[in-house]
């Protein structure tokens, strides 16, 4: 339950706090966006449910990009450094942002991380900066982090109707990855077409790309999308 954005509090408290909280965050995110642009860093906000495969995708991205990869990352986690450690082992310089009870990252978290001596030297050498958000399909969607694009992961085991149940997240997405596609043969009740239909009902025209961190399916298209994103500004990520 979040004690930052108000999602765990009575509605009257949320209403009072939400507007100033978001406008302060937006101002900090705008400064971050300029900071990223000045350094030629393409920043992605990677979001999805707990366990959707965010860290596995980034590990697989490092493998797929190989020597081309000049990557850096932060990983939002309530209580551990596990994901940042995994990414570090995969060759991506990474820092953990431990949020305690917070259910999302905000621009201040990212600002502090990018100015940390532990990450700053790697960022100076990086082209892509991945922000793995806290696993959550609700709050992370509304907190701008200065990113060039939002990537939302939803795994095949989550069923077909998540876009309709969590529309805010999917409406903020520039690309949706249908992860763990290797498991589709075991899930006769789930098809790519059904997921695409659910997505089209809330975000018409939004691209859905099936991927598997395990088999490598879809990673070439994902890397091509990432490469196409370089040099584009916010809002131009939907390609």
- Applying CB under 6 A, the residues found at the interface with ligand GTP are 48, 50-56, 83, 135, 179-180, 182-183, 212-214
- In terms of DSSP H, where are the helices of the chain? 11-38, 54-65, 82-89, 107-114, 120-125, 162-165, 167-171, 192-202, 219-229
Q: Give which of Mg ion, ligand GTP, none residue 218 binds (C-beta under 5 to 8 Å, depending on kind).
A: none
Q: Are 98 and 78 in contact (CB under 8 A)?
A: yes
Residue whose CB is less far from Mg ion, 54 or 104:
54
Q: Least separation, in Å, of the C-beta of 208 and Mg ion?
A: 21
Residue whose CB is less far from ligand GTP, 135 or 237:
135
Applying the rule CB under 5 A, the residues between 38 and 77 that interact with Mg ion are 54-55
Residue 78: closest CA among 52, 108, 120, 109: 109
Q: Give dist(CA 194, CA 54) in Å, integer.
A: 22
Q: Is 59 helix (H, G, I), strand (E, B) or coil?
A: helix
Among 83, 106, 144, 158, binds Mg ion (CB under 5 A): 83
Per rule CB under 5 A, is residue 94 in the interface with Mg ion? no
Q: Least separation, in Å, of the C-beta of 63 and ligand GTP?
A: 12
Alpha-carbon distance values, 25 to 22, 130, 142, 213 (Å): 5, 19, 10, 33
Q: Least separation, in Å, of the C-beta of 237 and Mg ion?
A: 21
* Interface positions with Mg ion (CB under 5 A): 54-55, 83
């Amino acid at each position: 339950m979040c004690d930052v954005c108000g999602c765990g509090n009575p509605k009257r408290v949320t209403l009072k706090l939400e507007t100033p909280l978001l406008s302060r965050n937006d101002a900090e995110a705008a400064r971050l966006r300029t900071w990223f642009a000045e350094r030629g860093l393409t920043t992605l906000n990677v979001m999805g449910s707990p366990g959707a495969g965010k860290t596995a995708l980034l590990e697989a991205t490092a493998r797929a990009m190989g020597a081309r990869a000049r990557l850096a990352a932060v990983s939002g986690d309530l209580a551990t450094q596990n994901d940042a450690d995994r990414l570090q082992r995969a060759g991506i310089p990474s820092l953990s942002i431990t949020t305690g009870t917070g259910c999302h990252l905000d621009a201040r978290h990212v600002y502090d991380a990018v100015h940390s001596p532990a990450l700053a030297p790697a960022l100076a050498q990086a082209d892509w900066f991945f922000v793995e958000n806290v696993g959550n399909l609700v709050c992370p969607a509304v907190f701008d982090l200065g990113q060039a694009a939002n990537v939302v992961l939803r795994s095949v085991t989550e069923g077909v109707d998540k876009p309709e149940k969590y529309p805010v997240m999917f409406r903020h997405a520039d690309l949706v990855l249908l992860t763990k596609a290797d498991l589709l043969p075991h899930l006769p009740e789930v098809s790519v077409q059904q997921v695409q239909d659910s997505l089209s009902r809330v975000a018409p025209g939004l691209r859905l790309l099936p991927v598997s961190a395990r088999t490598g399916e879809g990673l070439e298209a994902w890397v091509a999308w990432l490469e196409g994103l370089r040099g584009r500004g916010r809002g131009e990520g939907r390609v």
